[in-house]
Structure 1
Amino acid sequence: MSRIGKLPIKVPSNIQVEVNQQIIQISGPHGKLFRKISDLIKVELDSNNNIYVKKNDNTRIANQLYGLTRTLINNMVIGVSKKFERKLQLQGVGYRAEVKDKDLILNLGYSHPVLIKIPTGINIIVEKNISIIITGFDKELVGQLAATIRNKRPPEPYKGKGILYKGEIIKRKVGKSGK
């Protein structure tokens, strides 16, 4: 038994949960999310507004999906009640960010600005041209967008320039030693 999978998911009173065969739909004040559940897993909703995840089989794949499914459903409940947030920091001379319409424009030392389309359901705030705050109710989408932005200029180990997650520590290397 998975220690994570057997825990019930407590659903707040302002969240609506619908389970139709293998599709779970969760809606709340910040949005609506749905997910298709594997046939090896069963999701039940009790009268006390708790969600229970159970295995249909006792196979290795069902054991792997058991805890994963519970965590994904829990993230959906948290996302529609509170939002998820990722913070990025630009470090480097001349590195700037700004939001225009539904685009994030990054100046990262290239000969051209880097344009990133902001998906629906995601909100981006830029503070002081060097701090990017990504918020949204879908944890996967927020994390993927943050990783995509960071991948445009990952931090390098010599001077530490690039796009970092807030609070991330880059292990620095010593450069060439001059004679």
Structure 2
Amino acid sequence: MLSSSFRWALRAFVMKREGGPVYSRSVREILHRYHGITVGMYSIGPCESDPNHFAPGTVIGRYCSIYYTARVLGADGPDECVVQGGPAWSPHAEERALAGHVAAGVCIGHDVYIGHGAIVLPKVRAIGHGAVIGAGAVVHDDVPPYAVVTGNPARVVRYRFAAATVEKLLAEEWWWRTIDELAISGDGKGMP
């Protein structure tokens, strides 16, 4: 059995060789295969964090930013189910295949930010696309898309954008673009 410090050093080496945690496909495969965690491309945080911070079955979307002290706690009852074929929101066969057959867990949408020390409890099943979970928040319930939640228990304090803008962003599904595609589109921020 490899020591945890050796495993961390090996992951760091692989990430460096593959252009960093945002781009590393190998570390994503390791997290999935050995820890049951699916991490979408261009997300930062989960690839560098201790895999034990995320319950097996956790699915993290693309372009997320998750602070290394955040935790997604595991299910604590026999009511778990099995994900078959990957996240329902992924049209890409590669990411569906990575999800494989693991215990059901929380599905963290795309473009989600989870702050320092935030905790997602086992009964949470979905954190919507574009949501922001404030530092130290304890999330007890599902979080709607583009909501900003803070506190214990975490409550919606506002939304990042007006309802019309949220509808547009959800319909566009901009997160399926690569970083290069986003950099050359529209205003340079990835928005057409």
- Tell me which interval the TM-score lies in, with the shorter structure as reference length: under 0.3
TM, length-normalised to structure 2: 0.20
Which structure dedicates a bigger proportion of its chain to strand?
1
TM, length-normalised to structure 1: 0.21
Structure showing greater relative contact order (alpha-carbon pairs closer than 8 Å, 6 or more residues apart): 1
